[in-house]
Amino acid sequence: MDKQSRRKFIRMAVRGAILGGMAIVTGDLLFRQEGSLFGKNRKSGPTVWQLDPAKCIQCGRCATECVKTPSAVKCTHAYSMCGYCNLCSGYFKPGTKTLDTGGEKQLCPTSAIKRTFVEDPFYEYTIDEALCIGCGKCVKGCGAFGNGSLQLQVQHHICDNCNECSIARNCPADAYRRVPLTDPYLLKGFGM
């Protein structure tokens, strides 16, 4: 065997070894764990980021840490939980005396919550998604004194689904996780 063909043979052998190594790693990733493609509870399909409202502490970082401006996290209203309160603790600043739509009385820094009269004494609150920055001030108010129907959620038509969510990295409550693309919301509600 001359030098040239010996070198060729060694290169081929190393190539084969690398491909074999890749196959082993791939096999390990596909078979070993529960939830992998051929393991139990298959879930290796595409995933998206979502935040668990039960863990969220409304620190306000969703508004500042997202790579999107404004953030892909928005206040989401689970109407099925809402009490339609006149004095909405997610809408009004604490200690507000006269309940009207004056901007200085609103918790929301961008006036993204629209308050409309339904019937005495009930008011409907809707979120203007274009204005919402995801700061979670209303969520905190609603959760503290109300039913907790206002919740922060990653809105998937805005989210870029970064490989590593930069909000998740900075979330103090570890509320973010990857969820299956087929079930992308963690909104909590009664009868939901």
Partner 1 sequence: MTNSGIDMTASLFTNFCFAIQRFPKPEFESGYIEPETLLPLPRGEMLAWLDVAVLILALSLASWLILKKRSRMGVFWLSLFSLVYFGFYRQGCVCSIGAIQNVTLGIFTGNYTVPLVALIFFLAPLIFTLLFGRTFCAAVCPFGALQDMVAVKPMRMGASLNALLGMIPYLYLGMAILFAATATDFIICRYDPFVGIFRLNSSFGMFLFAGILLVSGIFIARPYCRFLCPYGVLLNWMSRLSWKHMTITPAECIQCRLCENSCPYDAIDYPQTKKDPIGRRKQVNRMILLVVLLPLLIVGGAWMGGLLHQTFAGVNPKVKLVRMLLTTDASKDKPEPPEIAAFRSSGIPQTQLMAEVAAIERDFLIGSRIFGGFIGLAFGLTLIGLIRTPYRTDYIPNRGSCFSCGKCMDYCPVESKSCTVNTEVSQRITENL
Residues 124-163 that bind partner 1 (CB under 8 A): 124, 126, 140, 143-148, 153, 155-157, 159-163
Select the residue interacting with partner 1 from 31, 37, 93, 102 (CB under 8 A).
37
Residues in contact with partner 1, shown as a per-residue x/- string from 45 to 64 under the rule CB under 8 A: xxxx----xxx-x-x-x---
Q: Is 106 in the site for partner 1 (CB under 8 A)?
A: no
Distance CA(190)–CA(93), nearest Å, equals 26
Select the residue interacting with partner 1 from 6, 9, 22, 111 (CB under 8 A).
22
> What region, left, alpha or beta, does residue 35 occupy, with left being phi > 0 and alpha being psi -120 to 50 degrees?
left
Burial class of residue 138 in the structure, from the number of CB atoms within 10 Å of its CB (0-12 exposed, 13-18 middle, 19+ buried): buried
**How many chain residues bind partner 1 (CB under 8 A)?**
80
Least CB distance from residue 163 to partner 1, whole Å? 5
CA angle, corner 67, sides to 136 and 44, nearest 5? 95
Residues 158-187 that bind partner 1 (CB under 8 A): 159-164, 166, 169, 172-174, 181-182, 184-185, 187
Least CB distance from residue 52 to partner 1, whole Å? 10
